[in-house]
Amino acid sequence: MLKLMSSIAAAVLALVAFPASAEAALGPDAAACRPGSNQSAVLVSVSGFKSRAGRVRVQIYNASNFLMKGKRVRRVDLPVSATSMPICVAVPGPGTYAVAVRHDADGDNQKGDWGDGGGFSRNPKITLLDLKPSFSEVAVPVGRGPRAVQVVLNYRHGLSIRPVRS
């Protein structure tokens, strides 16, 4: 019985450490998020797309360059292919990083349209008056191997910003 419980605990731990989506991670860095990888990476599970149109951009920042134009650590830009997407982004090594995600809903690659969505690691509350959280609000530690992070996209709804309700 103890051996069975130990096996179940190990299976649950494996699912937490490497979600099923790790096998199907998207992007040019997908190999860095495969089980057993020793490469530092962030497996960003982006959910809450209001449509399957446009492009999704995942950008990784460190504390010294957080949200500075052109100063990201790494960026992956992909066409939206599902309502939830596991996107792998390799990082230079262990450290503390922030993840910023943008859904360019119409794919026009403009700076930001009112119809575009966005989100950050640790899913902070965003308002029209406070669109950019601090680094400490969104920072996540990354070690050797992939770190799973969930980002729920937010969109403008009148005078509020919130996830799409299903």
CA distance 105 to 116: 5
Looking only at the bridges linking them, the beta strands covering 146-152 and 117-120 are: unpaired
Confidence of residue 166 (pLDDT cuts 50, 70, 90): low
Confidence of residue 9 (pLDDT cuts 50, 70, 90): very low
Looking only at the bridges linking them, the beta strands covering 146-152 and 41-47 are: parallel
Alpha carbon distance, N-terminus to C-terminus of the chain: 42
- DSSP letters for 55-79: EEEEEEE-GGGTT-TT--SEEEEEE
Residue 65 pLDDT more than 70?
yes
> What pLDDT, on a 0 to 100 scale, did the predictor assign at position 153?
97
Name 113's Cβ contacts closer than 8 Å, sequence gap at least 6: 104, 105, 106
What is the phi/psi pair of residue 102, to 5°? -130, 130
**What DSSP character marks residue 105?**
T
| pLDDT, mean of residues 60-68 | 96
- Amino acid type, 77: D
Across the chain, what does the average pLDDT equal? 86
Of 116, 121, 125, the closest CA to residue 150 belongs to 121
What three-state secondary structure class fits 96? strand
**For 78-116, how does the pLDDT look when each residue is reduced to its tens digit (9 = 90+)?**
999 998 999 999 999 999 999 999 999 988 876 668 889
Confidence of residue 75 (pLDDT cuts 50, 70, 90): very high
User: What is the Cα gyration radius of the chain?
Assistant: 17
> What pLDDT, on a 0 to 100 scale, did the predictor assign at position 1?
41
Residue 143 pLDDT more than 50?
yes
Residue 13 pLDDT more than 60?
no
| pLDDT, mean of residues 5-20 | 40
Higher pLDDT, 152 or 160: 152
CA distance 75 to 7: 38
Q: Which two tokens stand for residue 100?
A: 């910023």
Residue 22 pLDDT more than 50?
no
| pLDDT, mean of residues 147-155 | 97
**For 39-55, how does the pLDDT look when each residue is reduced to its tens digit (9 = 90+)?**
999 999 999 999 999 99
> What pLDDT, on a 0 to 100 scale, did the predictor assign at position 109?
76
Q: Which two tokens stand for residue 158?
A: 């009148």
